Amino acid sequence: MISLLGISKEELKDIVLNEFYEKSCRVTQILKWLYEKKEFEIDKFTDLPKKFRETLQQKFKIFTLDLVSKEKSNIDGTTKYSFKTYDGYNFSAVYIPKLSRNVVCLSTQIGCSIKCIFCNSGRVDFVRNLDCCEITEQLLRIAKDVGKIDSVLFMGMGEPLLNYENLIKSIKIFLYPEGLSMSKRKITVSTVGVVPNIYKLAEENLGIKLAISLHSYDDNKRKKFVKNLKFSIKDILEAGIFYAKRTKTKLTIEYVLIKDENDKEEDVLGLIRLLKKLSKDISIFKINIIPYNFIEGIEFFSPTEERINNFKKILINNGFLAFIRKPHGSDIKAACGQIGF
């Protein structure tokens, strides 16, 4: 059986009109039950004819994932949801409550082929891409549990741009009015830099935000952190700058700060020189400094608070918009870089 959560509005319309011979208004009704009312039992779609509901139940299901566990942080209320797929694999999504907005961090793959050495997901062998329905279900299950979700981050397990088709399909479901009707500026895709698909994403004209997981200005040093990626830093940033200009958004630079590895003054000055060389308008950049979050078995450490603050201060003094990202859910292994099996 097919999940309704993996079907686009256009696909659903084709099925309703040409397979079930129903009126086109049925499409909007179904979508509203799923995404606005968050009702996940087809028999309760009460404004649909009973016979049509029975037909839908014979062809479609809604959920494909089992919720294995739900862990809530005692520090900040961050909640990690662990799911199991139909074929027996586990992955997680994270809910981050904030004062101004509720945020969900979604996974796009089971395992990760990039193998960033500071990331727990990189220690999990790549199995497969998550289907559109599995991506969408993460968000809906959490929204049903906690209420309205304001922002979506594709920053969980996996490299989103290596699951391009399912990523785009799920984003469109999040955006269209009959779906979740989210703001395009409240959706961010994080990538280590799959250059062709950054340009492809720009051509989609979705207007969502892009974050580049960078961590160094130097290719040789970055290769130590990001193992399985063939693109140079220059090529990645040029693609990111193109995306930002094309979509009129800021390009977020994510920089995991690791003690004695990439946290020195020479590192931040090298980053500044590179960004200024590639773009005369540095206002298009937003730099998120992410102090390394502890992962058992990895011999990395977070820098001192003084060094973290100095890194930020140098960026700001050179005209850049820079922030230090506070860890969320570190006590339940839900902070940036900690999500694994």
From first CA to last CA, the distance across the chain in angstroms is: 27
Asked if domains 2-61 and 66-332 share a fold, the reply is no
Output the pLDDT for position 193. 98
Task: Please state, as a whole number, how many other Cβ atoms lie within 10 Å of the Cβ of residue 303.
Answer: 21
How would you class 123 by CB atoms within 10 Å of its CB: exposed for 0-12, middle for 13-18, buried for 19 or more?
A: middle
Output the pLDDT for position 196. 98
Does pLDDT of 45 surpass 90? yes
DSSP class of residue 130 equals P
For residues 192 and 170, the answer to whether their CB atoms sit within 8 Å is no
Does pLDDT of 204 surpass 70? yes
Nearest C-alpha neighbor of 288 from the set 214, 196, 203, 186: 214
Output the pLDDT for position 265. 97
Q: How far apart are CA 156 and CA 336, in angstroms?
A: 8
Q: How far apart are CA 85 and CA 125, in angstroms?
A: 16
CA-angle at 162, arms to 15 and 236, nearest 5°: 135
Catalytic residue set = 336
Output the pLDDT for position 341. 67
Span 102-127, average pLDDT: 95
Output the pLDDT for position 340. 81
Give the mean pLDDT of the chain.
Answer: 95
Q: Which CATH architecture has domain 66-332?
A: Alpha-Beta Barrel (3.20)
Q: Could you state, in order of their start, the residue ranges of all structural domains in the chain?
A: 2-61, 66-332
Nearest C-alpha neighbor of 102 from the set 120, 77, 72, 126: 77
pLDDT tens string 298-337: 889 999 999 999 999 999 999 999 999 999 999 999 999 9
Does pLDDT of 178 surpass 90? no
Could you write out the DSSP letters of every residue in 186-236?
A: GEEEEES--HHHHHHHHHHT---EEEEE---S-HHHHHHHS-S----HHHH
The CATH number that domain 2-61 falls under is 1.10.150.530
Q: How far apart are CA 32 and CA 180, in angstroms?
A: 9
